Amino acid sequence: MSQSAPQAAPQPGNEIEIVAALVERACAAMAAFADADQARVDEAVTALAWSIYEPGRARELAERAVADTGLGAVDSKIIKNQRKTFGCLRDLMRAKTVGVIEEDTAKGLVKYAKPVGVVAAIAPSTNPAATPVNKAMMALKGRNAVIVAPSPAGAGTTTATVDYMRAELEKIGLPADLVQVLPQPVNKALTQSLMEAADLVVVTGSQNNVRRAYSSGTPAIGVGAGDVSVIIDSTADLKDAAEKITMSKIFDNSTSCSSENQVIILQDVYDDAIRALQDAGGYLATADEKEKIKNTLWVDGHLNRKVIAKDPDVFAAEAGLAPEAASAKFFIVEDENPGPDTPFCDEKLSLVLTVYKAGDFDDAMAQVDTIMDVCGRGHSVGIHTQDMDHARKLAEDLATVRVLVNQAHTFGNGGSFTNGLPFTLSMGCGTWAGNSISENLNYRHFINITHLVTEIPEDKPSEEDLFGDYWAKYSK
């Protein structure tokens, strides 16, 4: 395996020098990659994909991620390492990012793709392997170089992942330094120095890192906090909805920002929907157990790392739930009046699903909106329904980027083989969440575009064409 280039261990005060050396090597690698044609670029992207998709490495990195961070489930992370990578590769192989990428003869425009430069990719502890590869694939698709800043908890996994990417690049005769990683031990000062030295910062993870990226002085793309709410409508197929919610909720022990945190159920199907969720593996907590869950999940106002993203038997034992809870897939907590005074409508990063009852669809939508005031505005919502007018109303009226209809949210929100969203592990949430993009992060965010502009026949309407209706209604 190609090892990451040796670096001196970060010491207070020498972060700038360490980052400068990494950037220098990244620029040299980019210079060697600058003349690559589309086929060669696509080979590089495929090499990165294979670095984690290869079954042995997909499992090894999944096991290491869980061991290093204590978050998630190995089997889920294997799926994530492979499925997200495969989907991203599919998307990237269909895109053109070298030379002329678009011609519009009617407008006299020709568009040329150019690199953005050295990309600083900030990775979260929840996805210390899949996210770095996902971002590196998009970065190299634009002929950029990338330097990954891992989370301290996931640094070992991320470093091993980068080593695999570097080895695959060397195998096909490309500079390994197209992909690098900050040396351990990673600290905030080192990550900050990287953000300030790079040409573009792409942040997935804590909102603190997102804010630091936006204030770094470097162009930055950040993502918003998750806290997904899903409506079970009166016309929903309750069995299908419960199975999809369960499959999504339990994936990787709810580490995904796209995992359902709340379900709002219309009152006319409420009892049947609860039974369907129980049949799918949910354990309905009693009032006393709800209090135990609250006191276990939040300690001094913060999520308890002893139980977040942990297996259900671990959570049940820590919370002191009934013996049968240990064999459940997830835990259902009934709540009412969502808002800042109840923590159960906040993001939980655990196998706890909060359920609210709504009198009608408008009430359900209002509850979702209230929940987004607590956390998750801009990110995404879902609905299980046969009434597309209700789905369209959510899309028309709510401040959210994505509305998923009859889907397992975790598997659909970041791209799916059965919807049209690009595969990604980074979801932009628009200005509602303080983000610069309102779509799934994709290759287009890693290229600059030069416009060649030639003259066309004059396209100038008359004053009457543009002002006529206004003059007729309001006069001149």
Structural contact between residues 426 and 88, judged by C-beta atoms closer than 8 angstroms? no
What whole-number distance in Å separates Cα of residue 176 and Cα of residue 167?
7
How high is the pLDDT of residue 5?
56
Which residue type is seen at 66? V
User: What's the DSSP call for residue 357?
Assistant: E
Q: Taking the mean position of all CA atoms in its chain, how far away is CA 320?
A: 33
Strands (E) across 35-98 are located at none
* pLDDT tens, the chain, 476 aa long: 556 655 556 666 799 999 999 999 999 999 999 999 999 999 999 999 999 999 999 999 999 999 999 999 999 999 999 999 999 999 999 999 999 999 999 999 999 999 999 999 999 999 999 999 999 999 999 999 999 999 999 999 999 999 999 999 999 999 999 999 999 999 999 999 999 999 999 999 888 889 999 999 999 999 999 999 999 999 999 999 999 999 999 999 999 999 999 999 999 999 999 999 999 999 999 999 999 999 999 999 999 999 999 999 999 999 999 999 999 999 999 999 999 999 999 999 999 999 999 999 999 999 999 999 999 999 999 999 999 999 999 999 999 999 999 999 999 999 999 999 999 999 999 999 999 999 999 999 999 999 999 999 999 999 999 999 999 999 99
The two domains 15-223+441-451 and 228-411 share their CATH topology (first three levels equal): no
How high is the pLDDT of residue 47?
98
pTM for the predicted model, two decimal places: 0.94
How high is the pLDDT of residue 216?
94
Q: Which residues are catalytic?
A: 257
Q: Of 31, 34, 411, which Cα lies nearest the Cα of 245?
A: 411
What whole-number distance in Å separates Cα of residue 324 and Cα of residue 332?
13
Q: Both tokens of residue 325?
A: 């809870």
3-state secondary structure (DSSP) of residue 452: strand
Q: 299: part of which helix (H) or strand (E)?
A: strand 298-299
- Give the domain ranges of the chain: 15-223+441-451, 228-411
Angle between helix 188-197 and 15-33 (nearest 10)? 40
Q: Which CATH architecture has domain 228-411?
A: 3-Layer(aba) Sandwich (3.40)
Q: Which residues of 163-188 are buried (b: 16+ CB within 10 A; e: fewer)?
A: bbbbebbeeeebbbbbbbbbbbebee
CB count within 10 Å of CB 196 equals 17
CATH assignment of 15-223+441-451, among 3.40.605.10, 3.40.50.300, 2.40.50.140, 3.20.20.150: 3.40.605.10
How high is the pLDDT of residue 3?
66
Structural contact between residues 182 and 190, judged by C-beta atoms closer than 8 angstroms? yes
